[in-house]
Amino acid sequence: AVHVHDFQATLLHLLGIELQDVGDTNGAISRIAQRLRIELRPAGDSVAQIAKALGSQRRMLVLDNAEHLTDLGGVIERLLDAAGGLVVMVTSRRRLGLAAESVLPVEGLAVPDEDSRDAEAANAFDAVRLFDARARAAHRPERLLPASFSCALRTPPAAPS
């Protein structure tokens, strides 16, 4: 039997951090500190300050859209080394290059082509059904209409090289 106390000891405090609009790794460090509500001293090492504030807290940071931050791996490595209770998950179109990195490739969903833009044909595609299900789960009244396919099915930009 699992006791409530045992279960609570395994919980991580989860924090998602969007990085798409951050221009560089220093901006990412600032964003991480801001979301963790850590006030950084301007003269100190920001990564060390974050690590010290985290200490052994059990946290999981989900860093989303990090592919343009090519030197973020070093920051993450320092944080993981210094903050024993930290777990980091990064979404990116490229590897971070860390020794302890585990990669889980995620394939995109098929979207309708030009011949499948009517509602019945488009509903055969996983991307359309997922979009529709998420819209309904968010209690959004709109359903996918043929006119909204172009908005919902835009191809994402190419991965940076």
Q: Which tops the pLDDT comparison, 115 or 5?
A: 115
pLDDT value of position 130? 80
**DSSP class per residue in 48-112:** HHHHHHHTT--EEEEEES-TT-TTHHHHHHHHHHH-TTEEEEE--SS----TT------PPPP--
SS3 at position 44? coil
pLDDT value of position 142? 52
For residues 141-149, give the mean pLDDT. 48
Whether the full predicted model's pTM is greater than 0.85, yes or no, is: no
Of 88, 95, 21, the closest CA to residue 50 belongs to 88
Give the separation between CA 22 and CA 29, rounded to whole angstroms: 10
Q: How confident is the model at residue 11 (pLDDT cuts 50, 70, 90)?
A: low
pLDDT value of position 39? 94
Q: What is the pLDDT of residues 100-123, one digit of tens each?
A: 888 888 887 777 777 766 777 777
As a residue count, the chain comes to 161
Asked whether 62 and 14 are in contact (CB, 8 A), the reply is: yes
Lowest mean pLDDT among 26-30, 139-143, 155-159: 155-159
Asked whether 119 and 144 are in contact (CB, 8 A), the reply is: yes
pLDDT value of position 66? 94
- Sign of the Cα pseudo-torsion (98, 104, 105, 107, in order): negative
For residues 80-96, give the mean pLDDT. 90
Would you tell me the crossing angle of helices 72-82 and 46-54 to the nearest 10 degrees? Answer: 40
Would you tell me the crossing angle of helices 25-35 and 72-82 to the nearest 10 degrees? Answer: 40
Asked whether 127 and 109 are in contact (CB, 8 A), the reply is: yes
